Amino acid sequence: MALLKRKKEVVLDQKTKELVAIVDGTIQSIENTPDAVFSQKMMGDGVTFIPTSSRIYACMDAEITMIFPTKHALGMRSIDGIGILIHVGLDTVELEGKPFTLHVMENQKVKAGDLLMEVDFEMIKAAGKGIHIPVVITNQEELSDIHFAYIYNNEITAKSPYCKINIKN
How would you classify the pairing of strands 161-167 and 16-20? antiparallel
Residue 77 located in a structural domain: yes
Yes or no: say if 78 and 119 are a contact pair by the CB < 8 Å rule.
no
Q: What is the pLDDT of residue 3?
A: 40
DSSP code of residue 36: H
Backbone angles phi, psi at 30, to 5 degrees: -60, -30
Query: Could you tell me if residue 49 is inside a domain?
Result: yes
How much is the pLDDT for 169?
59
Active site residues: 87
Which pLDDT value is given to residue 5?
42
Q: Which domain holds residue 122?
A: 21-167
pLDDT at residue number 6: 44
Q: Which residues of the chain have pLDDT under 70?
A: 1-14, 150-151, 169
Identify whether 12 is part of a domain: no
pLDDT of residue 11: 47
d(CA 65, CA 74): 8
- pLDDT computed for residue 63 by the predictor: 98
pTM of the prediction? 0.88
Question: What's the total number of domains in the chain?
Answer: 1
> CA neighbours within 13 Å on the CB side: how many for 59?
31
Is residue 3 included in any domain, yes or no?
A: no
The predicted-structure confidence for 98-109, as pLDDT tens digits, reads as follows 999 999 999 999
In a domain, 122, yes or no: yes
CATH number at residue 125: 2.70.70.10
